[in-house]
Each structure stands twice: as C-alpha cells, then as structure tokens.
Structure 1
C-alpha cells in the first residue's frame, strides 16, 4: 500500500507540475503586453526623442543624441528596431538600429545611410523598402511658380539609394501612403492632393497630382496622417505663418476614403464632414505634424511654435472644439512625429 500510495503521490505531483507548466505558458502568452511609442524629431538640435505613451497618465521620454543639428520626417522600422529621420542639416536619410537598447542621453551613430541629395527635406512616407521624402525647397528659383520635389529612395541593407526624383507643381510638406497612392498636403494652401500608383513613376520627371481637393476650414495645412484600421485622416492647420502661438488646429476626417473619393477634382470637402479642434486652450500655433492612435482615439501633435515647441496629445476629440491637451511636454522646434505599436 505504501508503494502504491507513493506511486499515486508521484503521479499526482507529475500531473500537477504539467498543469502548472501549461498554465504558466498560457499565462505568459496572455501577459505579453504591447507598448505604444511615439517617435519625434526636431529642428532645434536634431536629436531623436521617443515617448512611451502606452499609459497616457504615465509617459516616459528617452532622448538620443545624433550628429544632426536639425531633422524632420521620422519613421520607425520594427523589423530593424530602427528609427530613420530626414536630416535637414545632413540633407539625407539617416537611420539608427537597435534603438530600443540605447540609453537616454547616449550619443548614437547612423548605421543606415545614403546619399545627400536634398535641399530642404520634410516628411517621410514609407512603402516597403521605398522611402519617399518631401522637399519644399523652391525648385526653379521663382517663388511665384510653386513647386517641390519628392525624392524616392530604396533601402537595400544598410544603404539608402536614390531611385528617382519627382518634381511637383505645388509646394510640399506632409506626405503619407494609402496603399499604392501617395497623399500630399499642398503647402501654403488648404488643399490635399493624391498621386495614384505613385511608385510606378520610375524616372526623373515632373508630375501633376491625380486629384486635388480643398479641405474647408483649413488656412494652411502642413501635417497629415492616415489610420487604415479606422479609415481616418487627420490634417493639421498652422493658420497664419506670422502667428506661431495660438491660431493653429487640426481636422479629423472619418470615413476618409469615401469622402475623398466623393469629392470632385478641385472640389471642396466640406467642414461639416470633418471635426475641427482649435482655440487658445489647445496650445496649437504651428502644428507641423500629426500621428493618430485609433485604439484610444488620441491625436499626437508636433507643435513647432507655441512655447518654443511642444509634443501635445488630445483625446475626447469626438465633438472637437477648444479642448486642452492631455499631454503637454516641451520639445524645442518639434518637427515630426510617428506612432508605433510594438
């Protein structure tokens, strides 16, 4: 009996351990938590700052020192754990891998590099290994004829190589891909343009937009972002270029694809089809870029002017209006933001 009891006890212990082991595996799988990271660049010192905004009531910031002194469009490549930004001082793309292991305050060196072809790089839009950079430098030397350039780079390993340059017949700033189409703000204006099947243009050429629409309510747009999961476009309005403190805003366009497609070329997308956030309480004076988290309905703004530069975040934005930011942290001459779920 003692032998049988011992066998029973051992059997029970084995089963218990197996159950516990399986339970631990299941729990560990359930305990894998995602994080939400906001990457930011600036034109004050060219460093990269990223914010853990997983918990909006408890954000943390990490700043990494780069050799650039001014930078704009920023992007996070998850497969490489790399941040890529358009260096305005270096006039090229620069990327930094293993970014998550870097310690705040550390100096980092670019290990993704390319040629220095640009004059005034702004936003970056990415489709696979294609990196498109908007450059808002006057192309022909005549300010009365508005133009800009889109530099198309291919990332191959650790190198960015220039494939071709597209000259546009309007000034550029913010750009973003929706599938194969490249959407671009018409800088110095209140219009949104689209180039359909953009990457099929493989040579240096001058290209007009496939379609342009007026976005009612905007004075001068700069930044834009699109969230495919919710079909939401968010565009920023810097207002008057002379006022960098309190006349900015942003506009949210839900069901964007149907609304944009339903607006005729050179037509107007009515303000009644959008939600606008603006007013003194917003601290929006020169909101140059934007990111959107549809899971929490939070808009993140790179504010270049108010208070010298800030990173702002807004939620409870359904009704729009003059609402206060839930996040307000200083970042001198903030220029670009990119949101990543990791």
Structure 2
C-alpha cells in the first residue's frame, strides 16, 4: 500500500499568498490535500477478448466505474501490483505461467503491451504477489506446490526464468510486503486459518523455510471446515491486518458465505498464538461470497476497504470502522471475475 499525500497550507501575509493552512485557532491542524487514488483490478477470464486489467480512478468516487479496461492477453489473470516509487505495474497470468511488467505504467493504456514478460514453466499456479523495491525482488505465491517464488532483480528479467523456490508447510495464497519492517505476510489456504510472517524475505535461501512468526485466527470460524483465507492487506501506520475468507469456493451458498477479518495491534501478536479478530465483516448484507483479494486506503479521513468479490463479480467498498453484517458503502458490478486488486494513493 502506498502513501503519497502532501500537506499544504494556505494563508495570506503582507499581500503575499502562501500555500499553508489558515489556522483560525491554536487547535487547528494543517489541511491534508490527498492524491487521487487509483484501483487496479486483475480479472480471471481465459477468453481471448476479455478485459483482464481494469483501472478505476478516482477509486473513492461516489460512483465506482472503470476509467480504462485493457485486453492485454494475461489469461486467468491473478496477482496485480503497482509500485508508485518506480512506476511499475506487475500482473500474473496463471494460465500462461507468466508475469507481466509495465516499467512505465503512466503510459499503460496508450501502449497496452508490457515491457517485459517473465515466463516460468514451473509456476503452476501463480496467485498473489508482493515486491521488495530495495532489493528489486518480486514474490509470487504458488499454491499448488506450497512455494513462494522469488524473482531477484526482477526489473531486468525478460523471457524464460525460474524463480527461487521457498518451500512452505501449507498452501500460500495472499501475500503482502511490509516495507517499513522488511517482512512478508503470507496467508495459508485450505482451512489452515494461519498467517505466517517472514523477516528479511529477500535474504532467505532457497529450500524449506520456517516462518519468523506465525499465528492462527480463532473465534469466528463461521464457515467451519470450509474456512479458507485468501486476500491480505496490512497497514503499517495503523498496525492493522485485513484478511478475507471465502468459505466454499462453489456449491451451496458459495456466493454468500465470505467475510473479512480485521486484526489490530499486529506487532503485539506472539508466535504460535491463536487470536480472535477484533472485528469481522460477515453476513447477508455484505454481499461477500468469494472475496478473493483486498486492498486498503488507510489515509486519515479516508479509511476505505476494497474487495475483489469473485463469486458475485463485484468490487465492493467498505469503511475502516465497519463491523458485522453491514452493507458496502458502494460497489461496481462487473461482467468479468475480479481475482486480484491493488491500490495506489
């Protein structure tokens, strides 16, 4: 998640206008002027003409509609990630076992072809992605063989390449990189209800790996034996974790049994502990069935939760303070199946 807002103030002094906040009293705070947020959506269609990449801007507008839709050939598109500091956009094509890289994403929709395409024939089921910009390392969760793939110096790669394999105990799906603390959060699928954290992930050697810390989400388990964690987002400034649970991927009530766990004070969690989520967004009013991915805008006076709701083909937006069986603030109904999302702000 990217924070890139500016503080501006506006006052007049001696006939000169300054960009500063007009403080009417000693308690007033500078006015925060925010960058326009942009939501990137990766769709899982495999048909040739599908729009597998969508861009919503501004993401926090009253009416959520795509500004651009792109047929870029990324069939069964999964993880998508925008890196503001480098103007990179990464996208995984699960069907083609490849990773697309746009190195100047500001011209993304003027020139739809990616700058680089990394093809890894061993990437059997690429899901979510994360990026360590200091080390130029891309992480891809590959759930079917229980690995995290690491593509080192990824911005220089093009063509065939096999990523370094970190072997986990369990099937990883959602991942996110915490730049502030140099650690990788990994969600384990298939009723594990487990989150694992890996410190200094770019420095981990290939082979079987052990998490620096792991914990279990307990207490709700609304879906019982079918509980499956998928999407994850972390706010370092608020020390909050957001995790989605899809319940049944198909069958009875599969489009109604999803939810979101919200966990505060993540830095206080101890190894191998079982914790109760502080809040959970669940129920018939939420519209959550298969919330496969999640992104957050954690800025002051913003506080939005964006969800890729695959079963119902929707993008749903909730507030940071939402809890229980609440309806989304707004949403967008798609003709495609959203699989992954990321936000720039």
TM-score w.r.t. structure 2 length? 0.79
Which residue of 2 is the match for residue 35 of structure 1?
Answer: 36
Contact 1:65 1:107 in 2 (8 A): no
Q: Residue 200 of structure 1 corresponds to which residue in structure 2?
A: 203
Map of 1:154 onto structure 2: 152
Deviations along 1:21-63, one digit per CA (max 9) or x if unpaired, are x749889xx9986111111101014621111135431444121
1:90-109 matches, cutoff 5 A: 90-103=96-109, 108-109=112-113
Matches within 5 A, 1:7-18: none
- Structure 2 partner of 1:304: 310
Which runs of no fewer than 5 residues in structure 1 stay unpaired? 1-18, 140-147
The Cα offsets for residues 120-162 of structure 1, whole Å up to 9 and x where unpaired, read as 000001111110000011x3xxxxxxxx111101235442665
Give 3-state SS (helix, strand or coil) of 1:290's partner.
Answer: strand
Is this contact kept in 2: 1:46–1:71, CA < 8 A? no
Note if 1:53 corresponds to 2:51: no
* 2:216 alignment partner in structure 1: 214
Are 1:329 and 2:327 matched, yes or no? no
Matched residue, 2:224:
none
2:295 to 267, 291, 295: 291
Please tell me whether Structure 1 or Structure 2 has the larger radius of gyration of its CA atoms: 1
The reply to whether residue 85 of structure 1 matches residue 83 of structure 2 is no
Segment of structure 1 superposing worse, 168-177 or 193-202: 193-202
Unaligned runs of 5+ in 2: 1-13, 22-30, 222-226
- The separation in 2 between residues aligned to 1:223 and 1:31, in whole angstroms, is 30
Mapping for residues 56-71 of structure 1, pairs under 5 Å:
56-61=61-66, 62-71=68-77
Q: How many residues align?
A: 299
Matched, 1:231 2:253: no
Moved more, 245-254 or 214-223: 214-223
The separation in 2 between residues aligned to 1:32 and 1:322, in whole angstroms, is 33
TM-score relative to the length of structure 1: 0.79
Going by fraction, where is helix more abundant, 1 or 2?
A: 1
SS class of match (2:172): coil
Which position in structure 2 is the counterpart of 1:172?
A: 172
